[in-house]
Amino acid sequence: MRYIDTDIAIIGAGIAGAGVAAELAGDFKVVLIEQEDRPGYHSTGRSAATFIRNYGNATIRALSRASAPLFEGADRTLFPQPLLVQRGLLYVADADGLSKQAELLASADGLLEISAAEAVAKVPVLRPEKIAAAAYEEDAQDIDVAALHEGWLRKARGGGAEVLTKAPLLRALREGGKWEIETPTSRIRADILVNAAGAWADRVARESGVEPLGLTPMRRSIAVVPAPQGLDIMGWPLVADAAEGWYFKPDAGKLFISPAEEIPVEPHDAFVDDMVMAEGLYRFEQAVDVPVTRVERSWAGLRTFAPDRTPVAGFDSTAENFFWLAGHGGYGIQTAPALSHLAGQSIRRTNLPDDLAALVPALSPDRFRS
């Protein structure tokens, strides 16, 4: 049994935990506590992330705007290659999806209506007769998730942070002005406890004697299929059904296809539901003129949402020095730079830039407290 004294204990070493650890290590003693045998095993390691500016509610979009310069100006000693690479995003709608397409266009910035012929010119497998409307976002970009996560972990370790793996939280108790944290192999005393546990965040709260917030993990699946023969797919944009019945994107010479489902589940090592995947692939096949002949592999991940579908980042007023950094939903990678900076500065209790300071009330866990 190890006994560790630290300033800040962070539960979860995915993108949220790694990002805030990178912000704080060097100025504080930091311990990252990860239940799996490696960081980023769950949602972070299963993301087909694309930076989409017209995605999510107003708070999400503001976090994305604040994250863009942090991605683009990232420290080249940590991230020698660009973290963002141009991809583009093509929305298509059939007759049943026209109202959803109209909603997207009404709230979007930089999303341009294009014709069905222009959509097919960008992605030749699309069936023009199935496209009642189309729109294109030029600025959508692929995110190098692995590089971002690994770079932040490297920065955290360089600042003295320790990463404990195979260390599920058993319980935590606020006692004598400290958090007393227990895992199967260690006892950790910390001034501040950061709950960055993703799908397990409400469970971590309960095990720490803190009232949960009603965070809901939602399963989403992806299938990897061969590229259509004779076509160069690497310049294709991500293509999404405006009604969110499916999306697909090229990756490493393959097509990643998702049913775009959101199915509430308990936190677990997510796996694909064959029926849901089959239904999603069927919807995809109705929109294109190539069949799915083989699924090479597939996986599922959990996207965890707060009741208002906005992340939670802030100290809980009902539990001393308990900081929430959770509920990132499907936006966790693209908003991670801004949320990591906001969390780091909030934990330091120092001033935030005006654009992030304006978001603090919308992100506060106290919005769910009566």
Whether residue 321 sits in one domain with residue 241? no
**Which residues of the chain, if any, have pLDDT below 50?**
none
Last residue of a domain, one of 272, 288, 305: 305
Whether residue 183 sits in one domain with residue 329? yes
Whether residue 296 sits in one domain with residue 207? no
Whether residue 296 sits in one domain with residue 153? no
- Does some domain include residue 236? yes
- Does some domain include residue 80? no
Whether residue 46 sits in one domain with residue 132? no
Whether residue 241 sits in one domain with residue 281? yes
Whether residue 202 sits in one domain with residue 130? no
Q: So what's the pLDDT on residue 295?
A: 97
- Does some domain include residue 39? yes
Whether residue 299 sits in one domain with residue 155? no
276 Cβ contact partners less than 8 Å away, ≥ 6 residues apart: 221, 259, 261, 263
Number of domains in the chain: 2
Last residue of a domain, one of 264, 280, 305: 305
Task: Identify the domain containing residue 18 by its residue range.
Answer: 2-50+145-214+308-368
Whether residue 222 sits in one domain with residue 318? no
Whether residue 272 sits in one domain with residue 131? yes
Whether residue 276 sits in one domain with residue 206? no
- Does some domain include residue 67? no
Whether residue 299 sits in one domain with residue 221? yes
Q: So what's the pLDDT on residue 49?
A: 84
Q: So what's the pLDDT on residue 47?
A: 81
Task: Please report, for the domain that includes residue 261, its CATH number.
Answer: 3.30.9.10
Q: Decide if 169 contacts 36 (C-beta within 8 A).
A: no
- Does some domain include residue 104? yes
Last residue of a domain, one of 283, 305, 327: 305
- Does some domain include residue 159? yes
Q: So what's the pLDDT on residue 12?
A: 98
Q: What is the pLDDT of residues 47-73, one digit of tens each?
A: 878 999 999 999 999 999 999 999 999
- Does some domain include residue 185? yes
- Does some domain include residue 64? no
